[in-house]
Structure 1
């Protein structure tokens, strides 16, 4: 009976000691069992039409995940992993055909014609790559313009129009009168 009386008298102390013990046990079990969320792949929230943007996003997520894992292990910062996506080299053979020789071209002329064709093929590939880059840039600018905040632009335009209106003395007088009439009363200023 005495210990029940002691518990009632020291109820706050018992509650504080109990919560501290519960938190310590919870931390020990969490550390022992590990965090189940570590190591999971984040859900695919966004699907990108642009493969470059999707790849860049995937690399950024992997880099962030790697840094989080390093910090939880207590390792020092390692240099970032750089992955460059370079297309495989295009190998072309320059072949001088017998038709070119039969048409009266010398071997040097036919070789020059083959080099010109090869250079044109390289330029065509560069043009296709530039067109793909231009298309991805246009998609990105459309997305950015659709999500941008244009309220600042509207304020700047309206402010500029107001300043040009107040350049004449009559317009300035009219603005002062309107402020007196439509503004707060003198007693509340």
Structure 2
């Protein structure tokens, strides 16, 4: 008697467990490059190697997918900072932010469109998350460089780090992290009145070649 053939592997058995994450990552890149209206669900599905029908099983429409993309990076930033011990050095706090931002640089451009296309509730939820992020960075900034600046330097430091999502400079991830961290640290240490007479301008790292 011939041995029984092994059972055929089902589609579910070969489906990656992180498929939803892969979809969001692919969609984030496409939304960042093409904007909300030019991006399509079919394009996202093709980027992940699935059918549009399979994509709709995870996200009912393009808005739901876009909203997920808008939340995923800030969720990653908040989670990274939650792992940094309270009272940690400013360098440790900004390093955590920098690593997540560089890792998601290809999809970070989504935030250019979020205010225009997200509904009020999603914008409110994002604002709460960004508020937590700024508050945590500001605590570290004020601990090392106390100045009554109403979180200006914390937001400027985050802006320096987030600038990597606005362009496509070819640079290694580690080098990008080093440059962004150095810029953010210098911004955080700068008196907002530095542009006034008698003060020294902040010196940023040289442009990568």
After TM superposition, the score normalised by the length of structure 1 is: 0.26
> Quick one: higher RCO (CA 8 Å, sep 6+), 1 or 2?
2
After TM superposition, the score normalised by the length of structure 2 is: 0.24
Which protein shows a greater Rg?
1
